[in-house]
Chains A and B, each alone.
Chain A
């Protein structure tokens, strides 16, 4: 019996141990990572002077978000006051907005920057992926090659033209076409509310964009891929259109400092048309007698509107011109158009040995469509893009000197996939960098939810040539040149931190207060960096 008691006691003890063991919480000390980066589709917009390395760059200015989905856009810090700082603004989609190809989010970013043409860029967001867009602006005092600008003052009386005013854009070596604007005598200038502006002087700012210069076409306001457009019947053209331009003019007028929005009489605009332009309807060079639709753009909303049809004529000097009447001031454009392919095309850039940076990418269609952009390319990067129907080639140029790096054979824009193979190159010691970024706070677990834009550029080069990258959940892969000094500007919340990094693959040194480890893997030619920094806000 004694043995039995002992055994029962052992059994009771074992039972107690089992119950105690079962009650222990295995989650003790485990910190659940809650990604509070709720805003999707982070979009970096950088406004730059369209002239490369121009000393005068867009600085700080307010930005307007317009278009049908404007209410779905916030700043990257979830604000609805939009201001560019150092020419940059970072946007995102509001919580809960899920963009897709079937349900794109379309909005327009517009800004008026002193000394530059009004900026406008329409975005069509179809995924949650981050993106970075460069918006080139034309400086009146230093227009980019392929454009011509004039700022002219004329006297008026009580807001009315006493005589005919004629404004003519000058020619220059990069722009042989001219535009002439004729304002009839007795024309009243009115503000946005339709009221006569009682002023004694009229300032006219006109920029004409030609069709022969990549820089001019890259600065085409709003871009050539148009999402919001109403056609000849006044109805929206579903799916948007791709413009094939014959020329473009931006007109702004100020009566006594007040912006003019309307006239009592139409003004006449005559625009020179380059004989190099191909009429997509005939497939041949444009000629007298051809007709081209005229469109206007509301730069605040990104809304294009069909206005009229212009007939191209040959003047006494043998130059081709197209004329139309303008009833309001905005952007006026001569464009044919084509529709987009029903499916998207994935463009892969194979460019081992090339540094990650901005390149000039031209999409050239056999039907005359040309699009220029300045994306940041890195080896293996894929872009999913909606292309207009037709056969295309892609031309990639050095954005500084316009030298062609690669030109693809012709491919069907609706074909699905295309790879752009850069020529072999090994003169640069390009190193892959796999960065893991962690934020630290005293007595708190590491924060790996670092989502941030950063601008990277070589020390000594203009920051306008910088590459905007996005750190997602603390991870970033990029490529740097060995033994090169870089400047890195990183955004955290509303603040920016700048650091200089002397990049050496075998001896990576952390800047300032950043600490961590870096190891170079020769097999993969990758520096694996684990960097930690003190978070500015530990709350």
Chain B
């Protein structure tokens, strides 16, 4: 929306009559001076966002992030020696407000709409099991798939270090904060001899009920749209 408003302003400037061109150009420059775009990378993935300062100390920021991460041994179980790989995927569109009490400090609050926010861990036994003289090799035992999902909306709050709109053309600044997610929904499905484990989904869900903080540690490379 912010981008639409922003680009709408530019188009409006192009359609104005000649006698008001000076004022329009001046207005446009004013818009550009108050705007920046940035590339970012961090715990919510990589993405792009745009910022517009409505007031000297208040900006709006609209962006999107996409990311995925693989973690080995993300989940371990007491009675099953196993290897596992957890893959988390995230994509969101976020809209934050930034309040800058100091030139290098921003206080951020907003929300994200997560098109995708889920994690999937595949657990594979790595030791054989013997009972009643029957040995099951790890590859025969089967596998467990644990899936974690969240609701799509999540509020965000955090701090920003460094100027949101660069003093000159570029700057580097940081965000540190967190989304507050819904309580996760967890399912577990198994194959072969691990098939009957769906009841562990709610147990994991209970264990993970406090897994609601999605930390954001993010490096931003900002670019001011006006040279002045």
Contacts and interface: CB of A to CB of B under 8 A. Distances in A.
Nearest to B86: A26
Of the four ranges (under 10, 10 to 19, 20 to 34, 35 or more), the interface on chain A belongs to 20 to 34
Given A18-B217, A30-B200, A35-B195, A25 B105 contact: no
Contacts of A29: 78, 203, 207
A35 B197 CA distance: 10
A21 B210 CA distance: 10
B75 A27 contact: yes
A26 B211 CA distance: 9
A15 B75 CA distance: 21
A33 B200 contact: yes
B203 A7 contact: no
Given A15-B176, A38-B136, A26 B197 contact: no
A532 to B, nearest CB: 16
A26 B76 CA distance: 8
A226 to B, nearest CB: 32
Contacts of A408: none
B141 A34 contact: yes
Contacts of B217: 15, 18
Given A18-B217, A77-B132, A27 B204 contact: yes
Interface in A1-36: 3-4, 7, 10-11, 14-15, 18, 21-22, 25-36
Nearest to B71: A22
B16 interface: no
Contacts of B78: 27-31
B115 interface: no
Nearest to B144: A32
Given A15-B217, A35-B195, A28 B159 contact: no
Nearest to B80: A32
A4 to B, nearest CB: 7
A34 B213 contact: no
Given A7-B105, A31-B78, A32-B80, A448 B213 contact: no
Nearest to A449: B196
Interface in A30-61: 30-36, 38-39
Nearest to B104: A4
Nearest to B132: A78
Contacts, number: 95
B23 to A, nearest CB: 40
Contact of B134 (A4, A33, A34, A95): A95
Nearest to A18: B215
A23 to B, nearest CB: 10
B6 to A, nearest CB: 30
B147 to A, nearest CB: 13
B12 interface: no
Interface in B181-228: 190, 193-197, 199-200, 203-204, 207-208, 211, 213, 215, 217
Interface in B44-96: 75-80
A25 B203 contact: no
A71 B181 CA distance: 57
B82 to A, nearest CB: 8
Interface in A66-121: 77-78, 95
Contacts of A31: 77-79, 200
Nearest to B84: A27
Nearest to A444: B79
Interface string A439-482: 00000000011000000000000000000000001000000000
B129 interface: yes
Contact of A26 (B75, B133, B215): B75
A33 B207 contact: no
Contacts of B199: 33
A314 B132 CA distance: 61
Given A26-B207, A27-B75, A14 B200 contact: no
Given A27-B204, A32-B77, 6 more contacts: A26-B211, A29-B207, A32-B80, A35-B195, A39-B134, A473-B196
Interface of A: 3-4, 7, 10-11, 14-15, 18, 21-22, 25-36, 38-39, 77-78, 95, 448-449, 473
9 contacts: A18-B217, A27-B75, A30-B77, A30-B203, A31-B78, A33-B194, A34-B79, A34-B193, A35-B194
